[in-house]
């Protein structure tokens, strides 16, 4: 596997002179490296360039902080528009994180921690309810409530039927449309949460802003154990800004059951 391929974990592309990122004096963990030349046509996203995502490894929060600045710290993203320079290591080489991974207080967001190649297929993703305006008395809302009842939902509250119908019988991987739309790990598409959508609060832009788009989702389909208890991790940001090398507005979030 090439050092500029797309893969989870492992040793990412690192040209001579580039430092390994650290957080609280502990080497960070590389979550994923994406070579957009491998991805294929994805509207709004770069067609070339190398993107890397690192997270803090000094605690079981994997760098995610709390308070008003939540989502802005404890991680690092890097963008290489050109990878002509030779990498100092191959994907299978131990990273600074691997070298201290057995020390007390050093954590990994998921396992396995060895480099694993990533392949991409183009698909469609349905939005979360919070990502679009669904009129409660419109035709779609009525259909969703009917689908919920047909699926066994019992409630006298229209809002509950709408919520459960969309989340479990439309979006759900075992719902009526489970084979037709993207679920799990992805580039772009729609966000999935085990708890709540942070966008629009504190330092997170709203889902309607360019910087509130989903860049990457890492779900349990690509790891054995991780992100707490079967958690989901996201990066949010404007892919057009990433292509320009503007990374300051990228936000990090994960939650678990």
- The Cα-based distances of 63 to 28, 70, 109, 130, 219 in angstroms read 9, 10, 10, 26, 17
Q: Contact, 216 vs 184, CB < 8 A?
A: no
Query: What is the predicted pLDDT for the residue at 53?
Result: 99
Measured CA to CA, the distance from residue 58 to residue 249 in angstroms comes to 23
pTM to 2 decimal places? 0.85
- The SS3 call for residue 218 is strand
Cβ contacts of 193 within 8 Å, gap of 6 or more: 128, 232, 255
Q: Is the pLDDT of residue 246 over 60?
A: yes
**Which DSSP symbol is given to 252?**
E
Query: What is the predicted pLDDT for the residue at 178?
Result: 60
Query: What is the predicted pLDDT for the residue at 87?
Result: 98
Average pLDDT value for residue range 213-238: 92
Query: What is the predicted pLDDT for the residue at 172?
Result: 67
Listed ranges 82-86, 157-161, 220-224; the one with the highest mean pLDDT: 82-86
Q: Is the pLDDT of residue 158 over 90?
A: no
Query: What is the predicted pLDDT for the residue at 77?
Result: 99
Query: What is the predicted pLDDT for the residue at 162?
Result: 76
Average pLDDT value for residue range 113-123: 89
CB neighbourhood size of 82 (10 A): 9
Lowest mean pLDDT among 104-118, 169-183, 192-206, 234-248: 169-183
Lowest mean pLDDT among 22-26, 136-140, 216-220: 136-140
Q: Is the pLDDT of residue 119 over 80?
A: yes
Give the pLDDT band of residue 181 (cuts 50, 70, 90). low
Query: What is the predicted pLDDT for the residue at 102?
Result: 97
Query: What is the predicted pLDDT for the residue at 179?
Result: 64
Query: What is the predicted pLDDT for the residue at 136?
Result: 67
Percent of the chain with pLDDT over 90: 63
Give the pLDDT band of residue 19 (cuts 50, 70, 90). very high
Average pLDDT value for residue range 247-251: 98
Measured CA to CA, the distance from residue 10 to residue 33 in angstroms comes to 9
Measured CA to CA, the distance from residue 164 to residue 228 in angstroms comes to 25
């Amino acid at each position: 596997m090439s050092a500029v391929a797309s893969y989870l974990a492992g040793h990412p592309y690192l040209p001579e002179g580039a430092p390994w990122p650290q957080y609280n004096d502990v080497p960070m963990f590389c979550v994923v490296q994406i070579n957009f030349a491998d991805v294929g046509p994805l509207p709004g996203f770069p067609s070339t360039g190398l993107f890397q995502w690192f997270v803090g490894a000094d605690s079981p929060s994997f760098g995610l902080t709390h308070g008003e600045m939540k989502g802005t710290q404890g991680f690092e993203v890097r963008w290489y528009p050109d990878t002509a320079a030779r990498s100092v290591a191959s994907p299978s080489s131990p990273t600074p994180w691997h070298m201290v991974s057995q020390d007390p207080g050093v954590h990994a967001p998921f396992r396995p921690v060895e480099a694993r190649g990533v392949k991409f297929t183009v698909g469609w993703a349905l939005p979360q309810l919070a990502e679009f305006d669904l009129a409660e008395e419109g035709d779609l809302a009525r259909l969703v409530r009917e689908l919920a009842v047909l699926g066994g939902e019992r409630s006298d509250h229209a809002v509950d039927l709408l919520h459960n119908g969309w989340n479990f019988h439309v979006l759900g991987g075992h719902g009526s449309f489970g084979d037709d739309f993207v679920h799990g790990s992805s580039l772009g598409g729609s966000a999935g949460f085990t708890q709540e959508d942070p966008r629009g609060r504190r330092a997170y832009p709203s889902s309607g802003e360019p910087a509130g788009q989903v860049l990457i989702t890492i779900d349990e389909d690509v790891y054995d154990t991780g992100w707490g208890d079967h958690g989901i991790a996201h990066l949010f940001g404007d892919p057009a800004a990433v292509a320009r090398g503007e990374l300051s507005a990228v936000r990090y979030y994960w939650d678990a059951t």
